[in-house]
Amino acid sequence: MKTIKGDLILKENTTFDESIKVEGDIKGYFNLKVMGNINAMNIDARDIDAMNINAMIINARDINAWDINARDIDAMNINAMNIDARDIDAMNIICEKRIKKNKYNKTICRIYITNKSKLIKKEHKE
């Protein structure tokens, strides 16, 4: 595992061939690909691709990961096998599986919302 003291500032698309631990924040609107795990306080990047992501806050356009553990996720699109988070604010969530069977489509996920534009927005406080 590579440890980065302070912030990791992305100035170009960046790939790590091992897991990374960032003692500060990951910043920069470039793509970040990690061949292992990401451990950081805050991640603000264009695209994130990793095996596991542990962070307090993640802001990204696309997240591709096997597992995500975060307190807050704010993204345009989330594409992951498993998501474990307290709050998710996303335009699109791609769930566990999408199965095409004959002329019918079947989606398998924990929560699937239809007609979301007709729902009343509520805030939940713990």
> What domain range is 7 assigned to?
2-95
- Residue 66 inside a domain? The answer is yes
- Residue 32 inside a domain? The answer is yes
- Residue 118 inside a domain? The answer is no
| Rounded distance between C-alpha atoms, residue 120 and residue 110, angstroms | 20
Phi then psi for 123, rounded to 5 degrees?
-105, 140
- Residue 123 inside a domain? The answer is no
* Each residue's pLDDT expressed in tens, for the chain with a length of 126 residues: 999 999 999 999 999 999 999 999 999 888 899 988 999 988 988 888 888 888 888 888 888 888 788 787 877 777 777 777 677 766 666 554 444 444 555 544 555 556 656 666 665 554
Label the pairing between strands 26-27 and 32-34.
Answer: unpaired
Count of the separate structural domains present in the chain: 1
- Residue 106 inside a domain? The answer is no
- Residue 102 inside a domain? The answer is no
- Residue 105 inside a domain? The answer is no
